[in-house]
Structure 1
């Protein structure tokens, strides 16, 4: 979006007032672990506190508590700076408002049959992950609650690997299915029709991970299933690969399918044909851009009021 002079000034003022520290495994920074840096960050900060995490693999389990606001983790690239976990639970658990992760990798490799092995658990309001890699198998990204924005991220998983009840918008992200006979990209868990929550995917890619491409013909995927009755997912201007079954969506055991909202608009790719989608009342191919407006970042996240101040680029329209 275009930034006004006033917004640009606010960004410049914010940047010049930022505090920052360095994490480096070799001891050349202010801290050797990410956890230490977060522990010593100011409480209830009203401006960004930047933690530059230098290249390296950090085997840690990170909590951003609710009183650590406006934490900004900046790495040297998602494949150079990685925080990795190897057990059930969350590699990083975000609860503080205003968190930004940029050029970071987050992974949980607890195992193919592990459930609850979450790479990123996010319940922070007004949170952003920008140019990050989020890697796991089942339950990779738990978008619990709040307003969340994901831009140019790579997200890897198998079953229900993006799930939760946040209002979350994913722009220009690549969703990579890892090999497993049964794959579901999403399991959005909107419980109440009054909740303004949903997952929106805009100009994203739904495909197989490069590492698993030799098994592409054996992989069977759906776009999602309802973890709760009023599940909502919108997919716009995205590429849907042939691994996605023509029915598109599938039921979750013990959950109704007559209350969901699953909408698609101007998608491309061999899996984007909607002629054989499941025959549920809320599964819809939108015909006009105005029908998609409630799922845009501006409407779903009230993004225009807070994302520009971070300097992270986004599209506020279709």
Structure 2
């Protein structure tokens, strides 16, 4: 009886977790006392040995969180959250030791006359387009999310091709085509196109807190409104390009990075890293209060397929805390049709202040993913 009461109290606490209280340890206690729906353990001590099997077990069209506790382990699998599986919550035991990973890429058939033929041939062995590959017709990402209201915490998501080979082609760790998706305390690692955000609807929302996002080429790209705060963007080569957004005219906010850190390895610290480039349409991306531990190219941005609506950074500082000037930031862009356009590169104080959690994320439906997060700063900014 006492145990049931304690479990009930813990469940209630997790559902309404105070934004001013750290309850990371309580998650582990809940997992041990039945507060989860199912447990995944690679060693067979849980309800399932794979995360995909646990997702498959979840009810369809759920209206409340279905909590899947994932114990430390090596999960070498491809995961898909289908559109009918809403409110899937994956809670890892430890982000360094709970690893979801797989080796795949989307290399097209190599061309013998290409200067990249040898590299492309090596990638072809692990391509989802290769009829002879073990991953033929697999999804083009290690994790694909189509169900709304997804949440994950304390898990590493890794594309082994990108991480181990440190080269292209596209090798997604995660792809999202859903609204109201959130992550906290997670690690995302690949090389090219690590993370694709939702292009399903112009204003699908993504919230990312306290995560590590690693790559080299357009490693955070796509559409929708993304609010990314207190995260590290880690670059792994010279000339890395962080974001490549593609936003429709009706997308309200685009990409918002707030209180994030831009860092990288020695190769990336040569002053050639770019904040981003416009993939298609009218992209929007702002970096607010960014700490740049490695130098970023003075122009900040570069050309691609579209003309950005706004590409700006505001009150960026270097590794020593000194303000970084933005006078040389790129404002004129050429798209794939050789058309020229001008982008906004400077934010006023009032404009910068408009990019808040409430305006970008909460919305008319009052979505508040912060209530699910159990490791929080004492004061939200």
TM-score range, shorter chain: 0.7 to 0.9
Match of 1:195 in 2: 251
Provide the C-alpha distance between the structure 1 equivalents of 2:103 and 2:36, rounded to a whole number of angstroms: 32
Query: CA distance change for structure 1 residues 68 and 260 in 2, over 3 Å: closer, same or farther?
Result: same
Deviation at 1:232, TM superposition (A): 0.4
Contact 1:18 1:47 in 2 (8 A): no
Contact 2:224 2:251 in 1 (8 A): no
Match of 2:293 in 1: 241
Match of 1:5 in 2: none
Contact 2:15 2:371 in 1 (8 A): yes
Provide the C-alpha distance between the structure 1 equivalents of 2:71 and 2:328, rounded to a whole number of angstroms: 48
**TM-score scaled by length of structure 2:** 0.73
**TM-score scaled by length of structure 1:** 0.86
Map residues 188-227 of structure 1 onto 2, 5 A cutoff.
188-190=245-247, 192-208=248-264, 212-213=265-266, 215-218=267-270, 220-227=272-279
Match of 1:4 in 2: none
Aligned-residue Cα RMSD (Å) equals 2.6
Provide the C-alpha distance between the structure 1 equivalents of 2:82 and 2:185, rounded to a whole number of angstroms: 23
Q: Point out the structure with the larger strand share.
A: 1
Contact 2:232 2:260 in 1 (8 A): yes
Query: Could you list the runs of 5+ residues in structure 1 that have no partner in the other structure?
Result: 1-7
1:287 aligns with 2:304: no
1:311 aligns with 2:372: yes
The count of aligned residue pairs is 300
Query: CA distance change for structure 1 residues 12 and 283 in 2, over 3 Å: closer, same or farther?
Result: closer
Provide the C-alpha distance between the structure 1 equivalents of 2:16 and 2:358, rounded to a whole number of angstroms: 23
Match of 1:263 in 2: 312
Provide the C-alpha distance between the structure 2 equivalents of 1:104 and 1:176, rounded to a whole number of angstroms: 17
> The residue matched to 2:358 in structure 1 has which SS?
helix
1:115-160 CA distance string (max 9 Å, x none): 3310011122111110000011000010124200000000000000
> The residue matched to 1:285 in structure 2 has which SS?
coil
Provide the C-alpha distance between the structure 1 equivalents of 2:310 and 2:362, rounded to a whole number of angstroms: 20
1:140 aligns with 2:194: yes
1:101 aligns with 2:105: no
Contact 1:22 1:30 in 2 (8 A): yes
